[in-house]
Amino acid sequence: MAAPSPDEEPGADEQQELLQLLYAAPVGLVQTDDEGRIALINAAAAQLLLPLAVGASLANLFDLLGPAMPDLALRARSGAAGELLIDGEALALRVGPEGRQRPLVLSLTLRRLQAGQLVAVLADITAQVERERRLRQSEAWLNAALTGIHDHAAVGLDAAGRVAHWSESATRMTGFAREAVLGRPATIFHAGGTTTPERLLDRLHEARADGWSMDEGWLVRADGRRYWGSTMIVPVGGDDASPAPEHAPGFSLVLRDISDRRDAHEQRRRASETDHLTGLANRRVFFEAGQREVERFRRAPRPLALILLDADHFKRINDRHGHPAGDEVLRHLAGVMLRSLRQVDVPARIGGEEFAVLLPSTGLEGARLVAERLRRAMAADAVTLADGTVIRYTVSAGLALMQSGLARLEDLIEQADRALYAAKSGGRDRLVVAGEPCGDADAG
């Protein structure tokens, strides 16, 4: 970019006006150096960021936003002058005093002005994200209701979610014979490991509360072949005045084969829900899934476990082998998680080298086995870099179980976090279960 000639340069008055304009702009504007240190900030940005700066000043943008975007500092280091580094990505944060936290979703755009100078544009999109979520739901419902006359099957379910009515079209689409499905729970239409009996009950509850429950995922035909399908559950009847006979349909389940839409759906889902570096669920998805599970627990208590994992001495790995090697270790760690967990589990990257797994319908002993399996696999399986360097790493883990005494997701996380801290101070490479003493690395 050529330097402007003196008479093209804005005069002092003009510059003053420009500054005032930026200061009063309704979106947040922040100028930082390459390390995120804030040089200029306008009123809107200060308002958005202040709730994040608990006890601290508005000194460093990356520190403030880092919890929601662990690779922010890394991405901000790249790019030539004028380049757009981050284009309106949503950051899911939580703000407010302990016990009264609320979600805050910020959209972040980051552009490099020149070497050592970045400008960030911030906007609060919390309400918009919620509106879009609702809109997507109703859009999916309309799609299911208005299209695909030939590729859907309607099944009647009783109040407990067992098949009560079966049709020819359902046999045509799924291959199941009437005798094979009558009286069986609707989970039989889902591919193995992709749902649980509790999840079906939750969906029946959602359908009663909201008028429908819509989901997409792997379904299965009678011959075992999987297909990508949508399932919509709608309550029918529900006339409490006349007691329903045992197999009276309580719900209608519509199964649709939407294999052709799967790629587009998956791409969209991946882009908005996964962590850039590891491909695991991102922090926002983790908190949403956690909130959902905790609400379900409140309705009908059932086992729910949370494991927090943190790579040990990760700073040393970065210092010794370089940041890209550290990234490789994080990807490896995520790969171990993906390979070892069920599809209903929610593994997520919630911070730089911090990971979490939500285990629905899992009690203490089951969760302990999973956490130990993960820890051991990570300690046993070294990472080999492209240049042949072998890196060994370990993780510490904290495990907590949802209990009726814990009112909120934050309480569960706090318990697991304390257990994780105990695992770190107990020597690392170990699992600590909340409420239990810290054992040796290979004692459990």
* CB closer to ligand GTP out of 306 and 317: 317
User: Which residue is listed with tokens 């990505």?
Assistant: 89
3-class DSSP state of 300: coil
Does 424 contact ligand GTP by CB under 6 A? yes
Binding residue for ligand GTP (CB under 6 A) from 229, 352, 360, 398? Answer: 352
Question: Who contacts 411 (Cβ-Cβ below 8 Å, separation ≥6)?
Answer: none
Does 429 contact ligand GTP by CB under 6 A? no
Does 418 contact ligand GTP by CB under 6 A? no
User: Which residue is listed with tokens 């399932």?
Assistant: 231
Binding residue for ligand GTP (CB under 6 A) from 277, 344, 377, 438? Answer: 277
Binding residue for ligand GTP (CB under 6 A) from 198, 216, 353, 429? Answer: 353
* CB closer to ligand GTP out of 222 and 277: 277
Does 70 contact ligand GTP by CB under 6 A? yes
In angstroms, give the least distance from the CB of 269 to ligand GTP: 22
User: Which residue is listed with tokens 């922040």?
Assistant: 30
Which among 431, 320, 425, 435 is positioned nearest to 378, based on CA atoms? 431
How far is the CA of 368 from the CAs of 76, 111, 372, 421, in angstroms?
39, 45, 6, 17
The interface with ligand GTP within residues 81-140 (CB under 6 A) comprises none
Is there a contact between 117 and 125 (Cβ–Cβ < 8 Å)? no
- 295/298 Cα distance (integer angstroms): 5
Is there a contact between 213 and 203 (Cβ–Cβ < 8 Å)? yes
* CB closer to ligand GTP out of 301 and 324: 324
The piece of 3-11, 67-75, 337-345, 364-372 that touches ligand GTP (CB under 6 A) is: 67-75
Which among 77, 132, 142, 140 is positioned nearest to 110, based on CA atoms? 77
In angstroms, give the least distance from the CB of 31 to ligand GTP: 23
* CB closer to ligand GTP out of 250 and 352: 352
197-210 and 283-299 helices, crossing angle to 10° = 80
* CB closer to ligand GTP out of 66 and 303: 66
Is there a contact between 107 and 89 (Cβ–Cβ < 8 Å)? yes
Does 391 contact ligand GTP by CB under 6 A? no
Does 36 contact ligand GTP by CB under 6 A? no
* CB closer to ligand GTP out of 72 and 140: 72
Does 354 contact ligand GTP by CB under 6 A? no
Does 33 contact ligand GTP by CB under 6 A? no
Does 398 contact ligand GTP by CB under 6 A? no
- Runs of H (alpha helix) within 147-231: 168-174, 178-181, 197-210
In angstroms, give the least distance from the CB of 334 to ligand GTP: 11
- 156/195 Cα distance (integer angstroms): 19
Question: Who contacts 102 (Cβ-Cβ below 8 Å, separation ≥6)?
Answer: 94, 95, 96
User: Which residue is listed with tokens 């257990």?
Assistant: 419
In angstroms, give the least distance from the CB of 427 to ligand GTP: 10
Binding-site size, ligand GTP (CB under 6 A):
19
Does 68 contact ligand GTP by CB under 6 A? no
3-class DSSP state of 434: coil
Tell me which DSSP letter residue 52 carries.
Answer: G
Does 392 contact ligand GTP by CB under 6 A? no
Binding residue for ligand GTP (CB under 6 A) from 312, 345, 417, 429? Answer: 312
- Rg of the chain, C-alpha, whole Å: 26
The piece of 102-110, 289-297, 304-312, 355-363 that touches ligand GTP (CB under 6 A) is: 304-312
Strand-pairing partners, residue 236, are none
Binding residue for ligand GTP (CB under 6 A) from 28, 235, 290, 326? Answer: 326
Binding residue for ligand GTP (CB under 6 A) from 34, 327, 410, 436? Answer: 327
| 315 CB neighbour count, 10 Å cutoff | 11
> What residues make contact with ligand GTP under the rule CB under 6 A?
70-71, 74, 277, 310-315, 318, 323, 326-327, 330, 352-353, 424, 428
